Amino acid sequence: MAGKKRLNAPSERPSGLSQRPAEASASLICASSDLADGGDGIRFEAECNGLTAPAFAIRHGGRVYAYLNRCAHIAMELDWKPGKFFDTDGEYLICSTHGALYAPESGACRGGPCRGATLTGLKVFEADGKVYMRKD
């Protein structure tokens, strides 16, 4: 029909209504496709208790996990090169400083000087092909 306007065209939506709930309560980390199983992680800055701290996200067993980038042995960043968090088998997260091994799915120490400690986990989820960190 000539002259009749489509009211639901994206450019005509009032601003703010196009923001999805996932984006309102979470911060974007990366695209889901950026994280391969057992492959390189993505470094990002996480807001935690009112502070910003280095963090990383990885994929393991098809799921995404994220932790503060801080070894439980000494507060050093884990990756030996930016994004290199897995050991050579892609089975454990490994600290580049003294070789502490952590379970990717829980952050629990599985060997080395971390002795029963755990990485600080962050709440992450995937939606619409993207990885987010929950703000709450």
| CB environment 50-71: b (16+ within 10 A), e (fewer) | eeeeebbbbbbeeebbbbbbbb
CB-CB contact of 83 with 96 (8 Å):
no
Does 74 help bind ligand FES (rule: CB under 6 A)? Answer: yes
Give the neighbor-by-neighbor strand order of the sheet with 93-94. Answer: 93-94, 101-102, 109-111
55 or 100, CB closer to ligand FES? 100
Which residue among 43, 63, 73, 130 contacts ligand FES (CB under 6 A)? Answer: 73
Does 98 help bind ligand FES (rule: CB under 6 A)? Answer: yes
Does 97 help bind ligand FES (rule: CB under 6 A)? Answer: yes
Which residues are near ligand FES by CB under 6 A?
Answer: 71, 73-74, 76, 95, 97-100, 112-113
